[in-house]
Structure 1
């Protein structure tokens, strides 16, 4: 494959990943709903859960990194650093999605062994926001896995030895 087409594929993957991480952070960051249960009123907010805060922070950081990485030329010696950071970013996204998904599952289904009741019946809009954010996060992780593969391939192609 030609160098220019590799660069275009890498740029497209990074732009899509930037959009996915930014969407995930914004959708999760705006998830909030107030509900009344009998005489009690409560508000479900992403900031009430450390795993959701972690999800928002990681996606915001990865968005900034994605934007910066768009401007690093593939001919630069910094490109190997970008390839290494792509691995770190992919792992961070996987970690934050796993944590947020575990909490979302408890919110949706509860945990009868621990006595935790499901909350999604009371705050369905909140749970829908969380689900959309997680979907965008999964898309970002997949796109970053593809970008990692492309950047590693490009970095390894620069080695003419062996």
Structure 2
């Protein structure tokens, strides 16, 4: 791959790394407390396994991005990059989907189960989680673009051999 073709891929991977790191930092720093009926409760990201999963998946994607950024790009590795980019995209997508479900529950509650919304009591926490999800979603979209690019490279690689 020529140097001119590697620059956009490098920039997209760098932006994806920035998105995952931002999502981690914003999620980890999300905390707020509220008093309800004379009792104080604290909302933190590590109170929920879903938010922990989100942080772990973004950390894995960040580590993968760092490795791939400094890995020499060769045509023989195109299929491996396609598979690993796809796996990273799916892991990030699954973590965001789980967090969006939990975020919706925190924002609206569930009247059928008797769960009350909590975002009215801890708005700072909910805003931080929302920001982390936006950064994570942006990283996921960038990884999807990388999957499309990797797929394009694999198709070109095999069309040249045929």
TM-score of the superposition, structure 2-length normalised?
0.94
Aligned position for 1:92? 91
SS of the equivalent of 1:98 reads helix
SS of the equivalent of 2:76 reads coil
SS of the equivalent of 1:66 reads helix
**What do you get for the CA RMSD once the two structures are aligned?**
1.4
Q: Please, which moves more after superposition, 76-85 or 7-16?
A: 76-85
CA distance in 2, matches of 1:5, 1:114: 56
Are 2:37 and 1:38 equivalent residues in the alignment?
yes
Aligned position for 1:81? 80
Structure 1 unmatched runs, 5+: none
CA distance in 2, matches of 1:90, 1:99: 14
CA distance in 2, matches of 1:101, 1:5: 38
Are 2:51 and 1:68 equivalent residues in the alignment?
no
Cα shift at 1:3: 3.5
Aligned position for 1:161? 161
Q: How many residue pairs align between the two structures? A: 161
CA distance in 2, matches of 1:45, 1:94: 22
Aligned position for 2:27? 28
SS of the equivalent of 2:161 reads coil
Aligned position for 1:146? 145
CA distance in 1, matches of 2:104, 2:4: 41
Structure 2 unmatched runs, 5+: none
CA distance in 2, matches of 1:153, 1:70: 19
Render the CA deviation track for 1:122-150: whole Å, top value 9, x for unaligned. 00000000000000011001000001111
Cα shift at 1:118: 0.3
TM-score of the superposition, structure 1-length normalised?
0.94
